[in-house]
Chains A and B, each alone.
Chain A
């Protein structure tokens, strides 16, 4: 009697474990399939873009300016880095100083929290709305026209919150004792900032800057109506449109000639290489820290 009961129970338990194990096996298999599928998709996008770019690239494209249908893309390559540089110029100083305020123990806690909340929220403003804002205020009201400054500021609005957060985190990684010691020795905030925060967080800041640059280099929506476009190089900071690579991809693929498609492919290849290259360098530097 007793033995048959135990046997029964064992059987039930065994079945239960069996079905649970089966579920686990299914989940395991499915998760491998999904991960593998995503890796295949990612690799295939990369290979496709790199292959179609590499098979249509010519030297002329790289050394002449053009209008996305004829000529080359040198004006777009130069313009992309001009815009990103301008964006960095406008966003880096406020990011560093703002992050100093947020980590400074003496600043008002509530204000720091509010500042950080707004910084977070700013990252979720749609990029086209930033572009629209830049168009309404900078291009039209301040009468800059499509220009390097308008495009750079539009990019800066997007880079600012990323930079500020990353720099803040690299400031917070500095050992607290070191900062407290400096204050105890009578250093003021300026000295602590210039002798401890900035030199100690150098590597983390550089990694953050590279990441922000990589994001900015791939942006389009902010620039359409702030930087505009230029078939040649920008001639000044205002009232002169700027070309950029993402525009060539967008316009080139919508323009019905084979050569414009080639220009789009080559631009996409350059973009994907520079963006992922920057991300890789940024991660490598960040890991060594």
Chain B
């Protein structure tokens, strides 16, 4: 009896570390696949934006001891810039919206429809990524191209980056908007949860001192539970960094052309992996695949770091920031 129990416990332990094994093996195998690229490109992978698979129908040549198609050159700058800029724009749009939604459902909206509204906002997270992409292509891009971007170019051209040619609706602005829809439910639910966990006495104390609802809301989210607010936003950022399909569909998916303004087409690391892997498979030297794996390694490193920091900050609890102030 005892032996079977011990075996059972050991078995549950093995199952509990499956996620850890999965995470480590994802990193190890993707990194291993990317090794030839690091030998081939070295640090130039980080210093150029050009991405060229080379001439795949010519005799492969040996560079730094590695077999590669002649003319091959790989750099992640364009994709990194796209990933960072689309995610930053998404956070810039999503944070104020999530903040105001939290204030509204917590303080202004009648309590009985609060739950309904929160689940409604959470539905944004339930819409599949490709459906956002579809909506982005058919509905959002034409609106941006015909109405919004021309207006911006005309009236806001004093802001750097908002002056320039309008090519199509696809690009940074469309990607940022779609990404913000995908992360608003995450950011909102973290801030709403931290707001709910504030002790009643604190809220009532603030009101009894004569604070208005706006002051209570501002104080609680930016001071009392600042940690959760920041942590939730970082979690949203982590999600935005790794999002693939919607961005692939509305970013314009360019390679080798740096954006000149906010209206330019762009590309992200995740979208580049999805769209370039198909053609990379024709490279008999596997260098192209190694380059995409290297993109995957960098992407994974960035988004795991952001999410870990977010979790760490949010995990410190809602009391932080209160004691200090």
Q: Do A and B bind each other?
A: yes
Question: A residues bordering B, Cβ < 8 Å?
Answer: 20-21, 23-24, 26-28, 30-32, 34-35, 38-39, 41-42, 45, 48-49, 52, 93-102, 104, 106-107, 111-112, 114-115, 118-133, 135-137, 157, 160-161, 164, 188-190, 193, 214, 217-221, 224-225, 246, 249-250, 253-254, 264-265, 268, 271-272, 275-276, 279, 283
Candidates A98, A129, A279; contact of B300 at CB < 8 Å: A129
A133 touches B26 (CB 8 A): yes
B9 touches A106 (CB 8 A): yes
A129 touches B274 (CB 8 A): no
Question: B residues bordering A, Cβ < 8 Å?
Answer: 1-2, 4-5, 8-9, 11-13, 15-20, 22-23, 25-26, 29-30, 33, 96-97, 100-101, 103-105, 108-109, 117, 119-121, 123-124, 126-135, 137-139, 181, 184, 212-215, 217, 235, 238-239, 241-245, 249, 270, 273-274, 277, 289, 292-293, 296, 299-300, 303-304, 306-308, 311
Is chain B's interface secondary structure helix, strand, loop, or mixed overall?
helix
* Alpha-carbon distance between A57 and B71 when the two chains are bound, in angstroms: 48
A132 touches B293 (CB 8 A): yes
* Alpha-carbon distance between A53 and B42 when the two chains are bound, in angstroms: 49
B239 touches A128 (CB 8 A): no
B16 touches A24 (CB 8 A): no
CB distance from B282 to the nearest CB of A (A): 14
A125 touches B17 (CB 8 A): no
* Alpha-carbon distance between A112 and B20 when the two chains are bound, in angstroms: 11
B17 touches A118 (CB 8 A): yes
A283 touches B307 (CB 8 A): no
Pick 23 A–B contacts, CB within 8 A, sort by A: A27-B100, A30-B100, A31-B100, A34-B97, A35-B105, A93-B15, A98-B17, A118-B17, A124-B304, A125-B23, A128-B296, A131-B274, A132-B273, A132-B292, A133-B29, A135-B277, A136-B33, A160-B19, A218-B127, A224-B277, A225-B277, A250-B249, A275-B126
**Inter-chain contacts of A97 with B (CB < 8 A):** 11-12, 15-16
